[in-house]
């Protein structure tokens, strides 16, 4: 029996596209000083965010983004049917503690840096399937919490290779709902875990690029579309190294995306900020998409965007055991339906 809302092997086309009701972004001082400074709802001047630990600072950022997104949607916490969120930390502590405080029925997600897009994809399915009216989606990261968990505490001052990405201190949230027209989610393509054997924890871009390329290619094949059907194709967060590899892999499959493809990890920092390859972390694509990119879509600069959230699915344990780094990529299509 055919699945009527599914097109191809991995893509879902929504018959009644859900839309973004409210979006919010919170970033740290380094991100506020970058090229996108001024496009975020909250720009902190203190990475501790008034707290005593980096972890508490991150959780506070995520909570602020969630509250702002709900308020901007013209809703209250009681209007939200489900919350879907995640972060990079063990046991999703930022998302779990935020869900505890908000009191919304909660589904915790871990897709590494793909978590924001994963949440939006799943929320859209719930809304289109009429299981919910409003779903809150969110993700966060913090440079100091991620460095302490995955690499070395920042206080040690370990020299970073040029392939290394800088984990964004930031959070983003979006309310996905049934009512209204505007920035709508019309398609999602759920990615597969791809692993080509990369083991270098200081080169996340190379580890994630094959998964990003696989999802982009599958999306084109499933929908019959091409790069010409999109005003912008954006990944998050491959940064400079992963972006170049993804572009090459997609071109080998017959699709040239070079003239409209960028990455959230490239957009958020200036090379002069010494972030090496660029940005990463759940908060990178979450903040860029719910801040700068959403504004560009709503104002009409971009009518149709293909966004692919990418994640490196590693842990310190698997790395110490000599395992390679699997990657994942989940895609969403955002169409500006204002005036339709």
**pLDDT exceeds 60 at position 225:** yes
Q: What is the pLDDT of residue 162?
A: 63
Q: Are 242 and 206 in contact (CB under 8 A)?
A: yes
Q: Is the pLDDT of residue 259 over 60?
A: yes
Q: Which of the pair, 234 or 322, is modelled with greater confidence?
A: 234
Strands 134-141 and 261-263: unpaired
Mean pLDDT of 63-75: 98
**278-280 and 165-167 strand pairing:** parallel
Q: Let me know if 340 is exposed, middle or buried by CB neighbors in 10 A (0-12, 13-18, 19+).
A: exposed
Residue 157 has pLDDT above 50, yes or no: yes
CA distance 127 to 113: 23
Cβ neighbours for 83, distance < 8 A, ≥ 6 positions apart: 66, 99, 102, 104, 105, 106, 107, 135, 136, 137, 138
Q: Which of 78-82, 182-186, 266-270 has the lowest mean pLDDT?
A: 182-186
To the nearest 10°, report the CA torsion of 127, 122, 36, 98.
90
Predicted confidence at residue 4, as pLDDT, reads 77
Between CA 263 and CA 234 the distance in angstroms is 5
- Write the pLDDT tens digit of every residue in 100-134: 999 999 999 999 999 999 999 999 999 999 999 99
Band of residue 31 on the pLDDT scale cut at 50, 70, 90: very high
Contact 266, 239 (CB under 8 A): yes
Cα dihedral sign for 193, 98, 236, 296? positive
Mean pLDDT for all residues in the chain: 93
- Given a cut of 70, whether residue 231 has pLDDT beyond it is yes
Q: What is the pLDDT of residues 285-331, one digit of tens each?
A: 999 999 999 999 999 999 999 999 999 998 888 888 999 999 999 99
- Asked if the model's pLDDT at residue 56 lies above 70, the reply is yes
- C-alpha span between 310 and 327 (Å, rounded): 7
Domains and CATH numbers, the chain: 18-177 (3.40.47.40), 183-336 (3.40.47.40)
pLDDT-derived band at 340 (thresholds 50, 70, 90) equals very low
Question: Mean of the pLDDT values across residues 204-216?
Answer: 96
DSSP state string for 113-136: GGHHHHHHHHHHHHHHTTS-SEEE
Residues 12 and 194: beta-carbon distance below 8 Å: no
Q: How far apart are the C-alpha atoms of 35 and 10, rounded to whole Å?
A: 35
Whole-angstrom Cα Rg for the chain: 18
DSSP annotation string for 32-51: HTSTTTTSSSEE-S-TTTTS
Could you tell me the CA-to-CA distances from 265 to 67, 142, 165, 276 in Å, in that order? 25, 14, 8, 11
* Model pLDDT, residue 241: 95
What's the whole-model pTM score?
Answer: 0.95
C-alpha distances (whole Å) from 222 to each of 44, 89, 123, 215, 298 are 42, 34, 21, 10, 27
Question: What pLDDT does 14 receive?
Answer: 94
The predicted structure's pLDDT at residue 152? 60
Rounded to 5 degrees, what are φ and ψ at 88? -95, -10
Residue 85 has pLDDT above 50, yes or no: yes
Three-state secondary structure call for residue 164:
coil
Token pair 């409209």 in the structure block, residue: 260
CA distances (Å), 253 to each of 62, 214, 216, 220, in order?
38, 10, 10, 10
pLDDT the model gives residue 339: 46
pLDDT at 155: 63
């Amino acid at each position: 029996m055919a699945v009527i809302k599914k097109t191809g092997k991995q893509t879902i086309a929504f018959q009644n596209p859900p839309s973004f009701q409210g979006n919010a972004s919170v970033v740290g001082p380094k991100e506020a000083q970058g090229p996108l400074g001024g496009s975020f709802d909250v720009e902190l001047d203190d990475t501790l965010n008034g707290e005593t630990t980096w972890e508490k600072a991150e959780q506070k950022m995520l909570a602020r983004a969630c509250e702002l997104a709900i308020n901007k949607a013209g809703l209250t916490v009681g209007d939200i049917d489900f919350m879907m969120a995640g972060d990079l930390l063990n046991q999703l502590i930022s998302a779990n503690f935020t869900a505890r405080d908000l009191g919304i029925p909660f589904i915790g997600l871990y897709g590494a840096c793909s978590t924001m897009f994963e949440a939006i994809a799943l929320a859209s399915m719930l809304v289109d399937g009429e299981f919910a009216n409003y779903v809150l989606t969110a993700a966060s990261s913090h440079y100091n919490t991620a460095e302490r968990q995955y690499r070395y505490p920042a206080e040690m001052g370990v020299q970073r290779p040029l392939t290394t990405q800088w984990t964004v201190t930031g959070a983003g949230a979006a309310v996905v709902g049934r009512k209204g027209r505007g920035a709508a989610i019309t398609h999602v393509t759920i990615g597969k875990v791809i692993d080509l054997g990369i083991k270098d924890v200081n080169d996340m871009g190379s580890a994630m690029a094959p998964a990003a390329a696989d999802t982009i290619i599958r999306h084109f094949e499933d929908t019959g579309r091409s790069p010409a059907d999109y005003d912008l194709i954006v990944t998050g967060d491959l940064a400079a190294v992963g972006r170049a590899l993804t572009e090459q892999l997609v071109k080998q499959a017959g699709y040239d995306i070079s003239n409209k493809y960028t990455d959230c990890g490239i957009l958020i920092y200036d090379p002069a900020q010494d972030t090496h390859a660029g940005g990463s972390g759940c908060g990178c694509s979450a903040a860029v998409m719910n801040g700068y990119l959403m504004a560009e879509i709503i104002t009409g600069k971009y009518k149709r965007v293909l966004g692919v959230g990418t994640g490196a699915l590693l842990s310190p344990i698997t790395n110490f055991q000599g395992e390679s780094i699997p990657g994942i990529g989940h895609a969403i299509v955002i169409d500006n339906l204002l005036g339709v």
